[in-house]
Amino acid sequence: MGFATTIGKYQLGRTIGEGTFAKVKVAANTVTGQLVAIKIIDKQMVIDNKLMDLVKREITTMKLLDHPNIVRIYEVIGTKSKIYIVMEYVSGGQLSDKLSYLKKLSEGDARKYFQQLIDAVDYCHSRGVYHRDLKPENLLLDSRGNLKVSDFGLSVLRKPGDLLSTACGSPSYVAPEVIANKSYEGSAADIWSCGIILFELLSGYLPFDDRNLMNLYRKISRAEYACPAWFTPSQKNVISKLLNPSPTKRITVAEILEDQWFQINYEPSIGIGHDEWINSDDVKAAFDDIGGNMAETEETKSPNFINAFQLIAMSNDLDLSGLFEGEDNVKQRTRFGSKHSIHETIESIEVAAKDVRLSVEKMNNSKVKLHEARKLTGYRSHFTGSAEVIEVAPTHCMVVISRSAGKLTMYSEFCKSLSSLLKEKSVSSTELQKSHTAVVSDGEEVQQIQRSTEEDVNAHSKEPLRGYASS
């Protein structure tokens, strides 16, 4: 392996991951010879994208944690233009990669990874850290096949019992109480995600999966899933306890540790408890020269990116029908975003309907029926449809237009008219086809959108490189 550039006592080698404004390189410690991974973050991008809090939080949280099943941060080095985060090098890749070619794991392997995940989560919770984005992509494997939790960019540090209000995570792994936009306990939410991961390891697929995001959330909220035929009674028992939609009735870490299925061949991993607060001098030094360039208000302003529904609301002409519907239904439903209140959006719908000679019949404050203003007796193909406005924030709504019957041209004209009235910047649906995560944060937490292709990242994402993989 060839090494060239030197940063401190580390010689940088090949790039093993690359994202929008950060990359990860393997490096060698010139003193000990130890291989490490170094995440290189562009300071100017941190400033431009208002991500100082996000980067600082991930660094500080990971420095706080010292556990065999959690990726370690050794130190942080700052130069005039870069931040170098020196981390433990984990060579085995993501657990999701292993799943992709094995489809499902043996019971023994699945239990081993689940045991190590629970040990790591238990340790995090004991330190007041709640991950909030547990999924196979954020679980790395070392050369010995041991699991390492990474990517604490969405984590939060709270006292035990403190409730959280941030709706964040990956849609297929997020807990029902998080979707409900209510205060929730971080520990219970993390346990739900662990349950999703265990189900996926044993079955090879997700318990809750739907191309329609609303349907997906409905299934999650009701815990509507079915175990495959090969699941044993013991596996079904622990899964049902993990995926209990009621957070107060959901199994706890302490109860998981006592479960008979979990206890088979269990070898506990012990983390180190720090009596004193971690030394964050290197973190402060790495950010010192950019801290003065950012006004305090810049760190606490409303972030640029919000959750999946608010993303839709910010983008006019955002038709996600291809993402949410089958090909045969693409022409029956369209979604738009509106940066207006529900009342103002309904008014726009009424104006757009009038423009194309449609009548509007209000069903409630957020939904209307649409039909041709002049019905012809005996004419069976007259236009009928509906428009529903879903509020995601006081001035952010998602508009769902449905066509039940009638002329496609009239439907298209109405959508075009409404599109013009909402007066928002257009975002094509093709740019979002591969979007798989959207998160929202409150207070000083930074929001981000995770993309699965580099093109999508360059177009939409403003997050740092997470774990070792490019985002």
Give the β-pairing of 163-164 and 184-185. Answer: antiparallel
CA–CA gap between residue 58 and residue 39 (Å, rounded): 12
* Cβ burial 201-221 (10 Å sphere, 16+ → b, else e): bbbeebbbebebbeebbebbe
Q: Is the dihedral of CA 220, 221, 227, 232 positive or negative?
A: positive
**Helix ranges, 68-209 (H):** 95-102, 107-126, 176-179, 186-203
Q: 408-422 and 342-355 are packed helices; what angle lies between their axes, rounded to 10 degrees?
A: 130
Q: Please write down the long-range contacts of 259-265, taking CB distance under 8 Å and 24 or more positions apart.
A: 260/234, 261/111, 261/234, 261/235, 261/237, 262/111, 262/114, 262/115, 262/118, 262/238, 264/111, 265/108, 265/111, 265/112
Cα–Cα–Cα angle for 219, 463, 1, rounded to 5 degrees: 110
The token duo for 391 is 């509020």
236 labelled binding-site residue: no
Verify whether residue 282 is a known catalytic residue: no
Element (H, E) at 458: helix 454-460
* Closest-CA residue to 87 (of 138, 35, 20): 35
* Cβ burial 246-284 (10 Å sphere, 16+ → b, else e): ebeebbebeebeebebbeeeeeebebeeeeeeeeeebbe
Please, which residues have CB within 8 angstroms of residue 99's CB and are 6 or more apart in sequence?
105, 136, 200, 201, 204
Do the beta carbons of residue 198 and residue 231 sit within 8 Å? no
Do the beta carbons of residue 52 and residue 287 sit within 8 Å? yes
3-state SS assignment for residue 270 = coil
The token duo for 64 is 């706080």
The single residue of 119, 122, 133, 456 carrying the catalytic annotation is: 133
* Closest-CA residue to 221 (of 159, 179, 165): 179
**CA–centroid distance for 429 within its chain:** 19
- Active site residue ranges: 133
Numbered residues of the known binding site for ATP: 39
